[in-house]
Every structure is written in structure tokens, then in C-alpha cells.
Amino acid sequence: MVGFEPTRAYAESQDAQDELGAFRQEFVITEPELIYLDGNSLGRLPRLTEERLQTAVHEEWGEGLIRGWNANWYHAPTRVGEKIARLVGAASGQVIVSDTTSINLFKLVMAALKARPGKRQIISDTLNFPSDLYVLQGCIELLGGQHRLELVPSSDGIVPDLAALKSLIGADTALVTLSHVVFKSGYMYDAQAITEQAHKAGALVLWDLSHAAGAVPVELDAWEADLAIGCTYKYLNGGPGSPAYLYARKELQDVLKSPIWGWWAQREPFAFELDFTPAAGMNRFLVSSPPVLSMLAMEASVEVLLRAGMRRLRHKSEKQTDYLIELSDHYLAPLGFTLGSPRGVDQRGSHVSLRHAEGYRINRALIEAMKLIPDFRAPDNLRLGIAPIYTQYVEIWEAVQRIRRVVVEQIYEQYSAERLAVT
């Protein structure tokens, strides 16, 4: 960072200049001394979400009862999808909210493979979130084992081997599916370049935006992306278990065939016809009644992000992740920490991984003794998620000091290396 100084005063000066600083007051923060850098497995609660849920529960449900469906609920998957579309660079009619990330991945993978008959290769990478790989493996088994999954390697666990990826894409490639921002290291793909290369080979491309949307610019239409999925409980601050979303390029929608036929995907669901006819457009990827309260909660949080604007959010994210890395170089590298994320901001999302041999016990000590909540990703990654809409520079500075103290004072030695269920 220009003018970087490893001092608290410098952090405070950056906060004073922060054009997004006022947005922090729009989130519920009951423990000001608690620093929340969870990697965004769960974002903070927006105050607007609280208000919307109170209205939904007391007025729409409590007073309106079944009338709530016609008043506000029935079209929520489409309405909220349109708002998310603005965050991911998609024109109207291409994003819908439905089910979970894994279920949406299953639906789109099966549809994509059916749309590329005769092609047998699926490409992903060893840096992908394991759940995505499990879904791909399951799809292959369901389709009779005719397809093969090939994974792009990584020599350092941080960045993929892009030369290997280029060499893998060929005439037999049906689908390339990758995370735009890698969950462990935060590496960010050049999505447009990879999409273009895959299209030259006649393959479809599916992007997982779970660690990207709401933190980095996503331009699905500009990339000419085919398909995308993403969760909403990370940077979108949708709440625990909030529903996911999926994107399908307009030209593909009526070509793709979802493998799950539910009544919400029926052309006329309230005609109660016995034979299934898929709805036009994105509705064909719905299945059944949505989790209304979760969807309304997430809708409110998306509106907050839209007001902040992705350009401003990304600018702050770049500055704050750079700042964290510089502080780590100054205070933590002498203590055995190494950077587990790309240094170049153009290759990095909004979380930073710091590697240490005692990463797990350090993580536990920070959570249980230091009022700092990061998260841990095996084998040695202390992951620090920066949500630019509410994270302060002074929190980043203080977090590094608390990490340093845990190591210098050997506080982590008080904690077992036995893994807890959720880390």
C-alpha cells in the first residue's frame, strides 16, 4: 500500500478516509471488541434483514397467512434472482434463487453433460471445494461411468497450473467447472480467458461464485459465461442456510434439461397436470416451495450490497487484503508464517490465507482466548476473510497483533490439536 506504516495510527487514518465506513453501522455488532474475519462462511447480520424478517413473520405470515404467497412470496425466487444478477453482471432473466449450491451444481452439471452428447471429459482442479468434486463424481456415476473427471494440479496449493489447464481442454471436453475464487488460497481465475478457451473447444463452462459474488467484480455476461452457481451466506450475508442461486445464459435456457422435475418447474404448476412440461426460462430450474423466510432475509442483505456498489467494495477489498499481507510480512513472517495466497491483487479474492505449522491450534486460541474469529483450512491455513462492507482497517491491524501475541506468548500450546467438528 502507498504510504504503508505498521502502526495503529495508520489504520485509524485509513478508516477515517473510508467511503464505505458508514455501512458498518448497518450491521448488528453486539461485541465491538470481537474481530470477525471468519472467511465468510457466515457473514454478519444486516439490520435491514432483522426489520424485513419481523415484517415477514408478524405481518405477512402472522396476519396475512396464506395470502402472503400472492402478496410477496411466490415470485421471490425470480425477484431476488434479479437483484443478485446485478451483483454478478447478468442481464435480466438469467438468475434465479433455488435450493442449495450443491443441488444447483448437480442440476446444471447434469443438464450441461446431456447438452454435449459424445463428449466425455469434465475438467476441474485440485483447488476446488471438495463438495463440488463430490457432486461431479456422483454425476459421472449416475450417467453410467461414461465420463471422466480430470483435475488441473497445483504445485503449491495456492495457484493452479494454468499450462496444464490449457493443455487439458480439447475436442472431448464437455464441461469446465471451476471456482472463480479458490476457497483455500483465494486465488482468482481469469474467468473470461478460460471461458473463451473452453468455447473454442466446444465445451460449456460453469463457474462457482461462492467466494466471489459480493466481494470481487463478476461479469457473467461480459465473460460470455454459460452457467454459474453460488451460495448467499458468505459475502452476500444471507444468513445460515440461506438459499443459493444459479445462472444460465439466455440462449441455453430452453436447451438445457434439469434432472430434477418439480412442480415449481412445471409450465403451469397450479393446473396440476399429471405429465411434466418444463417452464420457459429460468423457472425450469426450480424444484419445489422455497424457504421463504430465508429468501426474504437474504433479499434484504443483497439490497445493502447493491447500495454499496461492487466497484467500491472491490477497491476497498484490494486495499485491505494488501494491508493485511504487508502487516503479516512485518509482524508475522519472523514467527514462521508464510503467505498462502497470491501476492498480486489481480489474482486474489477477498480472503487471505496465512500458513503456519501450528495453524489449527493458533486458530483455536484466537477464537477461544483472543476474541478473534478467523477459520482454519487443512493442512495449515489460517484463513482471514475480509468483508469490505463492514471490516475496518483497525480490525485488521489488531487481528495481526493478536495473532502475534498467541505465537510469541505460546498461548496456542494450551489447546489440543484434536479437530473440532466445525473449524
CA pair distance 307, 389, nearest whole angstrom: 10
Query: Given this model, what pLDDT does residue 108 score?
Result: 98
The residues carrying an active-site annotation are 129, 208, 233-234, 383
Q: Which fold has domain 50-307?
A: Aspartate Aminotransferase; domain 2 (3.40.640)
CA–CA separation, 218 and 365 (whole Å): 35
Convert the pLDDT of each residue in 299-348 to its tens digit.
999 999 999 999 999 999 999 999 999 999 999 999 999 999 999 999 99
Strand partners for 353 = 383
Task: Taking residues 142-167, report their average pLDDT.
Answer: 98
Cβ atoms within 10 A of the Cβ of 141, count?
A: 9
The correct answer on CATH 3.90.1150.10 for the domain covering 8-30+309-414 is yes
State pLDDT tens for residues 108-126.
Answer: 999 999 999 999 999 999 9
Average pLDDT over residues 387-406: 98
Q: Per-residue pLDDT tens for 176-196?
A: 999 999 999 999 999 999 999
- Percentage of the chain with pLDDT > 90? 96
Q: What is the pLDDT of residue 2?
A: 75
Residue 37 · residue 384 · CB < 8 Å: yes
What SS3 class is residue 78?
helix
User: What distance lies between CA 161 and its chain's CA centroid?
Assistant: 22
Q: Which helix (H) or strand (E) holds 134?
A: helix 130-142
Could you tell me the three cell numbers for 53? Answer: 424478517
If you compute the radius of gyration of the chain from its CA atoms, what whole number of angstroms results?
22
Domain ranges of the chain: 8-30+309-414, 50-307
* Tally of CB atoms within 10 A around 132: 23
- Under a CB-based contact definition with an 8 Å cutoff, are residues 386 and 351 in contact? yes
